[in-house]
Amino acid sequence: MADSTADTAPDQHPTVWLPIPPDRLPGLPEGPEYLHWDGEGDFPGDPVGVDFYVPPYMKPPQVVTRPLRHGARPRVVQTLTAGVDNVLDAIPPGTVLCNARGVHEASTAELALTLTLASLRAIPRFVRGQDAERWYAGVYPALADRTVLIVGYGAIGAAVEDRLTPFECAVVRVARTARETSRGVVHAIAELPQLLPHADVVILTTPLTDATRHLVDAGFLARMKDGALLVNVARGPVVETKSLLAELESGRLRAALDVTDPEPLPPGHPLWHAPGVLISPHVGGSTSAFQPRAERLIRAQLRRFTTGEPLENVVTTG
């Protein structure tokens, strides 16, 4: 992610809005006025006066963007999420938008591996069997000797590969554009039609953009081999739900989903009871590892902001 060279010259008394109470964030730079807003209730001050805004974590877009829709024109918006699709359209001209690269990689990759192993090794079936006092002996798929295709080979995708390496599987990497890494080639997304038929597991870690919305459509799924597993730890709308349901209900594919479309998945939605699906409630980044990493990021970015240094993790300037 590029550093910012935008106007972040030090201001003697900037106003900073934080989703964490400032008294719980020791080591914040001196100088700014720190105000706490977690997305609940009234604003702590006039949004027009905010200079550095850290949106509340795991809140819906209408909450995250509320200050921006009420006149806030901060110099910096620092999200605590890896993806910025929930705030991107509301960023005012001239505002530097930074994401939380470095905060979620470990936890999200951990869950991607968990969902993959649990699905392949039939853990949901065993849990149901335990509840029913049934002994489901048999031969089940392993991850060893399988081919895993990672779609969206950025920081999270690389962290997923880190955790796959000991499991003796082949990893194929795909990103928006082709490149070489120390681990080998990263294929361009345009090569997916040729790569999908050879993958036993497809793990989605791509950000949600106009280009990736419904990337996993009927054509994408049709190219996956019979019995393959789709794992989504990216964003729900990357997958076209109707097409996925058709493949699940036919029994041809399986899926493990930390994210869905719609989300939260409402009661009665057919995905809940589709055959071969494992669902977790968008908890890829919501672990004990989040808080300390988020706090380190906030302190580091505020130090850069108050001293006029280039910011890290810059996604765009509005």
Which of 173, 187, 235, 293 is catalytic? The answer is 235
Interval 97-137: pLDDT, tens? 999 999 999 999 999 999 999 999 999 999 999 999 999 99
The answer, as to whether pTM is greater than 0.85, is yes
Average pLDDT value for residue range 286-306: 96
b/e per residue, 4-28, with b = 16+ CB within 10 A? Answer: bebebeeeeebbbbbbbeeeebeeb
7 pLDDT above the threshold of 60? no
At residue 86's C-alpha, the angle toward residues 80 and 88, to 5°, is 95
Q: Give the helix ranges, DSSP H, for the chain.
A: 61-64, 66-69, 105-120, 123-131, 155-164, 192-195, 218-223, 241-250, 290-307
Q: Establish whether 263 is a catalytic residue.
A: yes
User: How confident is the prediction for the chain on average, in pLDDT?
Assistant: 95
pLDDT given at position 317:
83
Average pLDDT value for residue range 161-179: 97
Dihedral sign for Cα atoms in the order 39, 87, 111, 227 = positive
Which of 223, 263, 269, 309 is catalytic? The answer is 263
If we measure between CA atoms, which residue out of 262, 308, 284, 310 comes closest to residue 108? 284
Q: Establish whether 282 is a catalytic residue.
A: yes
Q: Tokens in use for 106?
A: 């470990």
Cα dihedral 193/194/198/201 (nearest 10)? -40
Average pLDDT value for residue range 261-270: 97
Which of 104, 187, 282, 293 is catalytic? The answer is 282
Q: Establish whether 235 is a catalytic residue.
A: yes
Q: Spell out the domains of the chain, with CATH numbers in brackets.
A: 15-103+288-317 (3.40.50.720), 105-279 (3.40.50.720)
Dihedral sign for Cα atoms in the order 156, 96, 21, 307 = positive
Interval 40-73: pLDDT, tens? 999 999 999 999 999 999 899 999 999 999 999 9
